[in-house]
Amino acid sequence: MSAEPVPTFECTQEPPHRFAIRGRARVRGGILLTLQRLDAPYPPRDLFITAREMKMAQDDVYKGCFVCVDRGLRETAIVLPKEDVEAGLPPAP
DSSP code per residue over 9-32: EEBSSSSPPEEEEEEEEEETTEEE
What residues contact 87, with CB distance under 8 A and at least 6 apart? 24
Global confidence as pTM: 0.83
CA-wise closest residue to 53 among 31, 28, 25: 31
Beta carbons within 10 angstroms of residue 26's beta carbon:
15
The whole-number pLDDT of residue 74 equals 80
- Cis peptide upstream of residue 15 (ω within 30 degrees of 0): yes
66-91 pLDDT, tens digit each: 999 988 888 789 999 999 999 888 88
pLDDT (mean) for 21-33: 94
